[in-house]
C-alpha cells in the first residue's frame, strides 16, 4: 500500500476523505508505558541517535492507537546537536544549551547541517517507511524562532527576553542567526523527505510570544525560506505554533499547505483567519482528555463541526499529549473521530 492515497495526505491536499484522519503531537512519548520501558536506561538524546530506538518508538503509537500518521521520534534540537552545539535534554526540563548564543561569535560558530551529520535519522526513516506499510510518516523540524529561543535563552523560557533583546537590539545579527537556523531546519527536513517522509511539520511552537508586527518583520521571511525550499518536493508542509491565534494568517502565508491551530481559536474562526487554499490541523485541548468521556466526546464533536468550515481537516490536539494522559482515552478518541466523521 502507498501512503499517497491515505486519508491523512488527502486531507492535507484538501481532497475528499471517507473519514477525518487523526494523529497526535507528542504521540510518541511518556504517556506510553512501552515508551517508558524502552527509554528506562537511555538518555533522550542517545535514544534520538539510535536508529533501532527511533524506529521502535515511532511505531509504538501507531500500533497502540491506530493513528493515521506516524511522526518521527526525534527532537527539534537534534540537528543543533548534530552541528556541534553543546546541549542536552534534561528530564523534566527540556533542552538546555551549555553556552547560550547571544553574540556575533556564537552566531558565526554555527555551521551548516550536512547529510552525514544525521545518518542515523535517514537510516531510521528508510526503515520506518518499509515497516509502516502505507501509513504516512511525518518528518519535522523546529521553526527558526523556536530554535533561536532555545539557543539564545539557553533553555526553556516563558518570556523570551534575551531572544527579544537580540531581535530588537541587534536586528542584523538576529537575521544572520535566523538565516543559519532556517538553513539547518531546511537541511534536516530535506534529508527526511529524501529518505521517504510523506509530509513535514515545522514546529514554531513559541512564535505565539510575538506580536504580528514582530513576527512579520523578524520571523516570517525566515520561515518562508524554509517552506520555499521544500515547495517542489511534493510533500504537504504543516506549520504549527502555540498561542498563535493572532498569527494564523501570517503563518499560512509563510508557505504552509496546512496550518496547525491550538485550542484557543475554534477551527471555523481559524478558517476565516487563514487565506483560502490551506487545510487546518487541530485542535482539541489536550487537557480535555482528563475530563469524563462524555465531555471528551462533546468537545470532539464540536471540533469536527467547526472543521466543516475548513477546506481540509486533520484532527489533532491543540498541542502535545500531556505525559499523564491515559493512553486508553487516546485509543478511544481515534475510533471516535473515525466513526463520527465517516460518511
265-271 long-range contacts, CB within 8 A, separation 24+: 266/302, 266/306, 267/303, 267/306, 267/307, 267/309, 267/310, 267/313, 268/306, 268/307, 268/308, 268/309, 268/310, 269/306, 270/245, 270/310, 271/309, 271/310, 271/311
Among 44, 96, 194, 322, binds ligand 1CP (CB under 6 A): 44
**Which residue in the block uniquely carries the three cell numbers 507528542?**
26
Asked if residue 95 binds ligand 1CP (CB under 6 A), the reply is yes
C-alpha–C-alpha distance, residues 224 and 256, integer Å: 9
State the catalytic residues.
26, 30, 39, 75, 150
| 320-339 binders of ligand 1CP (CB under 6 A) | 320
Dump strand ranges (E) for the chain: 70-71, 87-90, 94-97, 137-142, 199-203, 237-240, 258-260, 279-284, 313-317
Residue 299 binds ligand 1CP, judged by CB under 6 A: no
Q: Which is nearer to ligand 1CP, 92 or 294 (CB)?
A: 92
* Contact between 29 and ligand 1CP per CB under 6 A: yes
**319 alpha-carbon distance from chain centroid:** 9
Q: For ligand 1CP, which is the closer residue by CB, 173 or 195?
A: 195
The reply on whether position 171 binds ligand 1CP by CB under 6 A is no
- The answer to the question of whether 108 is labelled as a binding residue is no
Least separation in angstroms between CB 96 and ligand 1CP? 10
The answer to whether the Cα torsion of 58, 59, 60, 61 is positive or negative is positive
Q: What is the torsional sign of CA 138, 67, 23, 40? A: negative
Q: In what order do the strands lie in the sheet with 70-71?
A: 70-71, 137-142, 199-203, 237-240, 258-260, 279-284, 313-317
Find the shortest distance in angstroms from Cβ 44 to ligand 1CP. Answer: 4
Q: Is 26 annotated as a binding residue?
A: yes
Q: Give the residue with the Cβ less far from ligand 1CP, 89 or 183.
A: 89
Cell of 263: 485550542
Q: Between residue 217 and residue 246, which ones bind ligand 1CP under the rule CB under 6 A?
A: none
Choose which of 8, 203, 227, 315 interacts with ligand 1CP (CB under 6 A). 203
Residue 166 and residue 175 in contact, taking contact as beta carbons nearer than 8 Å: no
| Shortest reach from residue 205's CB to ligand 1CP, in Å | 3
- Report which of 8, 45, 10 is spatially closest to residue 132, judged by C-alpha positions: 8
Which of 20, 27, 122, 325 forms a contact with ligand 1CP (CB under 6 A)? 27
Taking CB atoms, the residue at the shortest distance from ligand 1CP is 94
Among 140, 145, 263, 336, binds ligand 1CP (CB under 6 A): 140
Position among 6, 14, 20, 75 found at the interface with ligand 1CP (CB under 6 A): 75
26 belongs to the binding site for ligand 1CP (CB under 6 A): yes
Report the DSSP pairing between strands 87-90 and 94-97: antiparallel
Q: Greatest CA span in the chain, whole angstroms?
A: 58
Q: How far is the CB of 262 from ligand 1CP (least distance, A)?
A: 10
Annotated ligand binding at 35? The verdict is no
Distances (CA, A) of 283 to 36, 65, 75, 255, 316: 26, 18, 22, 20, 6
Question: Residue 9 or residue 28: which is nearer to ligand 1CP going by CB?
Answer: 28
Pick the stretch among 89-97, 189-197, 222-230, 274-282 that binds ligand 1CP (CB under 6 A).
89-97
Kindly state whether residue 28 participates in binding ligand 1CP, applying the rule CB under 6 A. Answer: yes
The binding site comprises 26-30, 75, 150, 205, 319
Provide the binding-site residues for ligand 1CP, judged by CB under 6 A: 25-30, 39, 44, 71, 73, 75-76, 89, 91, 94-95, 140, 146, 156, 203, 205, 320
Amino acid at each position: 500500500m502507498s501512503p499517497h492515497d491515505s486519508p491523512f495526505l488527502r486531507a492535507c491536499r484538501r481532497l475528499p476523505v471517507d473519514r477525518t484522519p487523526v494523529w497526535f503531537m507528542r504521540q510518541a512519548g511518556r504517556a506510553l508505558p512501552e515508551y517508558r520501558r524502552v527509554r528506562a536506561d537511555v538518555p533522550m538524546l542517545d535514544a534520538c541517535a539510535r536508529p533501532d530506538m527511533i524506529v521502535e518508538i515511532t511505531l509504538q503509537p501507531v500500533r497502540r492507537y491506530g493513528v493515521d500518521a506516524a511522526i518521527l521520534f526525534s527532537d527539534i534540537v537534534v540537528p543543533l546537536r548534530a552541528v556541534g552545539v553543546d546541549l542536552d535534554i534534561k528530564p523534566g526540563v527540556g533542552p538546555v544549551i551549555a553556552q547560550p548564543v547571544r553574540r556575533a561569535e556564537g552566531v558565526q560558530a554555527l555551521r551548516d547541517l550536512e547529510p552525514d551529520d544525521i545518518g542515523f535519522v535517514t537510516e531510521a526513516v528508510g526503515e520506518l517507511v518499509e515497516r509502516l506499510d502505507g501509513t504516512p510518516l511525518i518528518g519535522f523540524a523546529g521553526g527558526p524562532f523556536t530554535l533561536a529561543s532555545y539557543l539564545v535563552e539557553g533553555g526553556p523560557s516563558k518570556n523570551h527576553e534575551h531572544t527579544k533583546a537580540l531581535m530588537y537590539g541587534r536586528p542584523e545579527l538576529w537575521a544572520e542567526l535566523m538565516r543559519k537556523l532556517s538553513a539547518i531546519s531546511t537541511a534536516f527536513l530535506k534529508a527526511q523527505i529524501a529518505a521517504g517522509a510523506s509530509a513535514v511539520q515545522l514546529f514554531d511552537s513559541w512564535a505565539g510570544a510575538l506580536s504580528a508586527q514582530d513576527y512579520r518583520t523578524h520571523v516570517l521571511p525566515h520561515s518562508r525560506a524554509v517552506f520555499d525550499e521544500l515547495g517542489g518536493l511534493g510533500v504537504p508542509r504543516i506549520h504549527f505554533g502555540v498561542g498563535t491565534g493572532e498569527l494564523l494568517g501570517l503563518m499560512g502565508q509563510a508557505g504552509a499547505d496546512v496550518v496547525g491551530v491550538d485550542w484557543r481559536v475554534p477551527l471555523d474562526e481559524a478558517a476565516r483567519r487563514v487565506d483560502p487554499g490551506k487545510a487546518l490541523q487541530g485542535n482539541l485541548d489536550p487537557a480535555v482528555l482528563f475530563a469524563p468521556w462524555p465531555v471528551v466526546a462533546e468537545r470532539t464533536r464540536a471540533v469536527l463541526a467547526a472543521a466543516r468550515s475548513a477546506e481540509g481537516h486533520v484532527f489533532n490536539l491543540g498541542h502535545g499529549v500531556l505525559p499523564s494522559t491515559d493512553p486508553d482515552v487516546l485509543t478511544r478518541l481515534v475510533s471516535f473521530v473515525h466513526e463520527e466523521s465517516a460518511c
